[in-house]
């Protein structure tokens, strides 16, 4: 028997995907399960480091080496229990997190890191499959009531933690169904909505109340009423103000924001009735996605499934390196070239492209672009962008999707009406206890810190819940992370 450490004998194996020719014809999840034997084998690669940098890199502080070792030993229930202590929703992060922990994995210094994210997903799905996840109702109630406005990952995590502390929690969501960006912003091929419904059903059994179709801050449900009815309020409705591209031709039809496109696609996939005249569909169209991030990638995958004639994704920044650059040595998170399942399905990617003008006759027909380069001058802290001479070109397009990120939370409604203080970036300003400029009103997630990752949103919700618990009772037994 080979007595060498298993990370020397077992190679990294990521989760397999369904064949491209099959998956682009539907919206079912792209990935396939590895199987329990493979999951345990991959967990065996964890070195159980004396100083686990993966633990520190995770915004949730997951006890990664501990549950990896339990998983390897086949002690699934113990491993899942340990995972749930730090992560309310590993079924979401296991599918959507960019795995900051893996880039800090010690094994990754000179080998491929442990498949931490996929091991996490294997654990939580095993737990659900074997009936290990059951409603956990608090043994006592405090008599305090809390309103959480927004049912994205931050709002759900905050509500879950406050309910565990014994408070009566009501989650308000303006859309027809709960889930926020998880339901309407993430395509089904990355997160099947049955996974989201499974969790929300569990939370309802734990006595968390959900009021959907409730636009908190409107005349029907003003914040003043919520403050009178509830002992504390948490704002968690995200950062939905998209970044625009105000260049000549922006008023042409056929140019849409990414969230408009993705939200409608998710509604259509869910069977919602949307008038055909309002459809934003890529079928038989030349699609250009401006923005090289994950949202842009989601738009690329959605366009493939809608039958686009061709898809081009352009990014202003230069092509990232494929290997870790010297500027971000281990264990820092590096900016590397990321090829998603959507990119594997086809289309073209271009980097260092500046869009100067949209052209067309009433409707967009092409983009006027130029190549740019970034140079760092002596004494400058940031590279300076300049256009490359004689590098102009055009890209034909029938549908342009702007995936340029988000600026801040929507100002209309609660923030504007109550003059809630904002920071320099336009996000809701809070103190170190997550309280806004309104006493008893807290904020967490993207609307407080700006657009970020699902895993950070869950962390924000957990930390805000502890601060709110202390506000309501004078102390808290909830974890600090």
In which domain, by residue range, is 201 found?
A: 145-240+407-473
E-assigned strand segments in 276-363: 286-290, 310-314, 348-350, 353-360
Q: Which residues pair with 366 in a beta bridge?
A: 359, 396
Asked if 439 and 457 sit in the same domain, the reply is yes
Pick from 10, 4, 196: which is nearest to 115 by CA? 10
pLDDT score for 4? 65
- Is 272 a domain residue? yes
Angstrom CA distances, 284 to 84, 281, 291, stand at 45, 9, 21
- Is 379 a domain residue? yes
E-assigned strand segments in 112-180: 145-149, 168-173
- Is 136 a domain residue? no
Strand pairing of 209-212 and 255-257? unpaired
- Is 137 a domain residue? no
Pick from 88, 433, 91, 423: which is nearest to 239 by CA? 423
- The structure tokens listed for 78 are 């113990």
Torsion of CA 136, 137, 139, 142, to 10 degrees: 130
Structural contact between residues 115 and 99, judged by C-beta atoms closer than 8 angstroms = no
One DSSP character per residue, 353-365 reads: EEEEEEEESSBEE
pLDDT score for 417? 79
Asked if 68 and 79 sit in the same domain, the reply is yes
The answer for residues whose C-beta is within 8 angstroms of residue 47's C-beta and 6 or more apart is: 5, 7, 65, 106, 107
Question: How far, in whole angstroms, is CA 99 from its chain's centroid?
Answer: 12
Query: What's the 3-state SS for 162-210?
Result: HHHCCCEEEEEECCCCCCCHHHHCCCCCCCCHHHHHHHHHHHHHCCCEE
Asked if 267 and 398 sit in the same domain, the reply is yes
Q: How many domains does the chain divide into?
A: 3
- The structure tokens listed for 107 are 């094994």
Asked if 82 and 225 sit in the same domain, the reply is no
pLDDT score for 376? 82
Structural contact between residues 427 and 450, judged by C-beta atoms closer than 8 angstroms = yes
pLDDT score for 378? 74
C-alpha 83/C-alpha 63 separation (Å) is 7
C-alpha 105/C-alpha 116 separation (Å) is 9
Last-in-domain residue among 385, 404, 423:
404
Last-in-domain residue among 101, 129, 157:
129
Asked if 30 and 69 sit in the same domain, the reply is yes
59-89 pLDDT tens trace: 999 999 999 999 999 999 999 999 999 999 9
The answer for residues whose C-beta is within 8 angstroms of residue 426's C-beta and 6 or more apart is: 407, 408, 409
Q: Which residues pair with 279 in a beta bridge?
A: none
* Residue 130 DSSP symbol: T
Three-state secondary-structure class, residue 7: helix
Last-in-domain residue among 105, 129, 153:
129
Query: What are the counts of helices (DSSP H) followed by strands (DSSP E) for the chain?
Result: 18, 16
Asked if 17 and 152 sit in the same domain, the reply is no
Residue with tokens 């492209």: 353
Asked if 116 and 221 sit in the same domain, the reply is no
Asked if 257 and 376 sit in the same domain, the reply is yes
pLDDT score for 411? 78
* Residue 273 DSSP symbol: -
C-alpha 1/C-alpha 412 separation (Å) is 67
Asked if 295 and 421 sit in the same domain, the reply is no
Structural contact between residues 252 and 362, judged by C-beta atoms closer than 8 angstroms = yes
* Residue 31 DSSP symbol: B
What is this structure's pTM? 0.95
Instruction: State the CATH number of the domain containing residue 202.
Output: 3.50.50.60
Asked if 317 and 199 sit in the same domain, the reply is no
Asked if 251 and 382 sit in the same domain, the reply is yes
151-198 pLDDT tens trace: 999 999 999 999 999 999 999 999 999 999 999 999 999 999 999 999
Pick from 39, 156, 143: which is nearest to 472 by CA? 143
Instruction: State the CATH number of the domain containing residue 17.
Output: 1.10.1060.10
pLDDT score for 480? 85
What is the number of residues in the chain? 481
pLDDT score for 413? 79
- Kindly list the averaged pLDDT for each block of 10 residues, start to end, along the chain of length 481: 73 95 97 95 93 94 96 97 97 97 94 96 98 94 97 98 98 96 97 98 98 85 90 94 96 97 96 94 97 97 98 97 91 93 97 98 98 85 91 98 92 82 93 96 95 96 98 95 82
- Is 481 a domain residue? no
Residue 368 has a CB neighbour count (10 Å cut-off) of 17
C-alpha 400/C-alpha 280 separation (Å) is 11
Angstrom CA distances, 225 to 170, 230, 236, 371, 464, stand at 14, 9, 18, 53, 22
- Is 174 a domain residue? yes
Asked if 187 and 253 sit in the same domain, the reply is no
- Is 138 a domain residue? no
- Is 413 a domain residue? yes
pLDDT score for 410? 82
């Amino acid at each position: 028997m080979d007595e060498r450490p298993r990370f020397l004998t077992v190679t990294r194996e990521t989760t397999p995907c369904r064949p491209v020719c099959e998956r682009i014809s539907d919206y079912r999840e792209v990935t396939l399960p590895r199987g329990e034997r493979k999951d345990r084998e991959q967990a065996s690669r964890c070195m159980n480091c004396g100083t686990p940098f993966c633990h520190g890199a995770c915004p949730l502080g997951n006890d990664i080496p501990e549950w990896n070792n339990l998983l390897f030993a086949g002690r699934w229930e113990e491993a899942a229990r340990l995972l749930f202590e730090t992560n309310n929703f590993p079924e979401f992060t296991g599918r959507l997190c960019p795995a900051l922990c893996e880039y800090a994995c010690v094994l990754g210094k000179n080998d491929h890191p442990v498949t931490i994210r996929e091991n996490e997903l294997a654990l939580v799905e095993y737990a659900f499959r074997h009936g290990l996840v059951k409603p956990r109702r608090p043994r006592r109630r405090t008599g305090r009531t809390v309103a959480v406005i927004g049912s994205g990952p931050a709002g759900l995590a905050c509500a879950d933690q406050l309910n565990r502390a014994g408070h009566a929690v009501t989650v308000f969501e303006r859309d027809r169904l709960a889930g926020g960006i998880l339901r309407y912003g993430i395509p089904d091929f990355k997160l099947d909505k049955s996974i989201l419904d499974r969790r929300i059903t569990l939370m309802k059994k734990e006595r968390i109340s959900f009021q959907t179709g409730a636009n908190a801050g409107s005349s029907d449900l003003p914040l003043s009423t919520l403050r009178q009815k509830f002992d504390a309020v948490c704002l968690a409705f995200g950062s939905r103000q998209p970044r625009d591209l105000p260049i000549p031709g922006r008023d042409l039809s056929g140019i849409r924001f990414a969230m408009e496109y993705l939200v409608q696609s998710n509604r259509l996939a869910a069977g919602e009735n949307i008038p055909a005249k309002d459809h934003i569909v890529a079928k038989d169209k030349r699609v250009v996605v401006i923005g090289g991030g994950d949202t842009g990638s989601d738009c690329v995958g959605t366009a493939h499934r809608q039958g686009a004639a061709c898809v081009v994704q352009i990014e202003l920044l230069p092509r990232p390196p494929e290997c870790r650059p010297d500027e971000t040595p281990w264990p820092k998170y590096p900016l590397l070239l990321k090829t998603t399942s959507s990119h594997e399905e086809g289309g073209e990617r271009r980097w260092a492209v500046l869009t100067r003008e949209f052209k067309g006759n009433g409707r967009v027909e092409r983009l006027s672009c130029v190549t740019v380069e970034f140079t760092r001058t002596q004494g400058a802290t940031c590279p300076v962008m300049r256009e490359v001479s004689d590098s102009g070109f055009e890209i034909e397009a029938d549908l342009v999707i702007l995936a340029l990120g988000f600026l801040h939370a929507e100002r209309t409604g609660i923030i504007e009406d109550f003059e809630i203080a904002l920071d320099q970036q336009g996000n809701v300003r809070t103190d170190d206890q997550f309280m806004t400029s309104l006493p008893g009103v807290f904020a967490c997630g993207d609307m407080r810190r700006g657009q970020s990752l699902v895993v950070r949103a869950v962390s924000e919700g957990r930390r805000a819940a502890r601060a709110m618990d202390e506000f309501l009772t004078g102390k808290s037994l909830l974890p600090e992370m």
